[in-house]
Copies of this chain bind each other. A is one copy, B any other.
């Protein structure tokens, strides 16, 4: 929890090692998952693990199901433009932005009613 930024498991491992030299990478992974499951912290992207191609070359955003990870495109025009209230940290040159709307898709809502345990 003391680590700044958005560390990878490997980085957490290197850091924790300084305090607990005998710790293993597997334990770091297991512990990270315990915290993720409990919601103590999150992960930067729900889609790490495998590359996913996005053929839609119009400006658009994503509806992402937090349960089944499915993705639905929504057109940029369906969203009011995103506006900043403050200027960004010095020297960052914006190219574009993408909004990720997280929630449950219809299928997963239906499934959670018939199989609440899943």
Contact = CB atoms under 8 A, between A and B. Distances in A.
A109 interface: yes
Interface residues of A, number: 64
| Copies of this chain, whole number | 2
A7 B70 CA distance: 10
A9 B109 contact: no
A100 B98 contact: yes
A10 B45 CA distance: 20
Given A47-B44, A99-B97, A102-B97, A6 B88 contact: no
Given A44-B52, A47-B44, A50-B9, A95 B77 contact: no
Nearest to A91: B106
